[in-house]
Amino acid sequence: MIIRGDVLEAERRIRGYVRRTPLLRGGTAAAPLWFKCEFLQHTGVFKARGAFNRILAARERGELDPKIGVVAASGGNAGLANAYAAAVLGVPATVFVPETAPRVKVERLLGYKATVRQVGAEYAEAYAAAMQYVETSGALFCHAYDQLEIAAGAGTLAEEIFQDEPGIDTIVVAVGGGGLFAGVAAAAGGRARVVAVEPFNIPTLHAALEAGHPVDVPVSGIAADSLGARRVGEIAFSMASRVPPVSVLVDDAAIVSARSQLWSEYRIPAEYGAAAALAALTSGAYAPGKDERVAVIVCGANTDVRTL
C-alpha cells in the first residue's frame, strides 16, 4: 500500500532532478479546466519522477551496483525515463521494449545511451525477458508502474497540482498499469476525487474492479503503446480497492478527437495515451458538476508530431 507520506518522501528525494511542470488554466470561463503539463517533464513523460525516485532510493540503501546499472521493461515511456535517470546518475541502463514500440521512442532510448532490446509484440513479453535478464545480470529492476517508489514518484505531480491550485476538486488521470493513478490517489486522498480513464480496448483497472482482483485483458487500440499493460498493478488495485475512483472508459475515436483538440486549441503535443484523460471530458464519459474544479493530467508527449 502506498500512502501520502511515500509521495512526500519522493518529493524530497527527487527535488533538483525533475522539472516542476506548470498547471495551466484552460476550458472556458463557465467551465474552467486546469492542465497539468507533465508532457514538459524530462523525457516528455511523468515517468521520470518515479525513475529517479526508484534509482536514488536504491542507491541510498546500497542496492544499486553502479557498474551493472538498471533494467526496465516498457512500451517506451518508462524505458525513456529510466534510461534518462540512469544517464544523469552515471549508471548503465538496459531497456526491453516490444517490437511494436514507436520508432521515435526507440531512437530516443538510444540517444540516452541505453542498451535497447526489442522482444515480443506487447509489454508483457518485454517484461518477461527483462526479468530473465535481472536474474542473470543482477541489475536493479525498475518496474514500469508496479513498485512503490515508482508510484510514489509519479504521485509528486499531484502534490504540485494542490500547491498551485488548492481548490481542485477532481484530478483526471489516464490509466495503463496504474502507477500514476496509484501515486495520484495516495496524494489526493481526502482532498479530491480521482477519475481513472482507460480505453475500452485496454480496461485493466475497470476489469479488475469488476472481477475483484487484477485480471489479464487483451491489449489493442490507438493508445496501446503507452497504456498497453495486460493487467493493472497490485499497488494500483490496492489503492482503488481502498478508495474507489470514478472509473470510466473511452473509445479510440474520443481519444483521437481529444488529442486533436489539445493541439488545435492549446498547442499541446499529447500522445494518444495522454489524451485519454481529456477524452473522458470531451466525450461525456465523465461530466463534472456545476462549479467543479477539474485538473487533467497531460502525462506524455512522446508522439510523432507529423500525425498532429
247 membership: H or E segment, kind and range: strand 246-250
Among candidate residues 224, 269, 244, 254, the one with its CA nearest the CA of residue 181: 244
- So what's the pLDDT on residue 168? 97
Distances (CA, A) of 92 to 72, 86, 89, 172, 292: 11, 6, 9, 35, 46
181 and 158 Cβ atoms separated by less than 8 Å? no
Angle at which helices 47-60 and 77-89 pack, to 10 degrees?
A: 40
Q: Which of 163, 175, 170 is nearest to 281 (CA)?
A: 170
Q: What is the pLDDT of residues 90-145, one digit of tens each?
A: 999 999 988 887 787 788 899 999 999 999 987 788 889 999 999 999 999 999 89
Confidence category of residue 17, pLDDT binned at 50, 70, 90: very high
Which cell numbers in the block locate residue 49?
519522477
| Beta sheet of 294-298, edge-to-edge order | 23-27, 32-37, 294-298, 170-174, 193-199, 246-250
Residue 76 in this model has a pLDDT that exceeds 80: no
246-269 per-position pLDDT tens digit: 999 999 999 999 999 999 999 999
Q: What is the C-alpha to C-alpha distance for residues 297 and 279, in angstroms, rounded to an integer?
A: 12
Taking Cα atoms as reference points, which of 179, 231, 243 lies closest to residue 205?
A: 231
Whether residue 74 is predicted with pLDDT greater than 90 in this model: the reply is no
pLDDT-derived band at 307, boundaries 50, 70, 90: confident
pTM: 0.93
* Helix ranges restricted to H, the chain: 4-14, 47-60, 77-89, 103-111, 123-137, 148-164, 179-188, 204-211, 224-227, 234-242, 252-266, 272-282
Lowest average pLDDT, out of 57-61, 143-147, 180-184, 222-226, goes to: 222-226
**Measured distance CA(210)–CA(283) in Å, rounded:** 23
Residue 224 banded pLDDT, cuts 50, 70, 90: confident
Label the pairing between strands 70-73 and 115-118.
unpaired
pLDDT on residue 103: 81
pLDDT at 225: 80
Widest pairwise Cα distance in the chain: 58
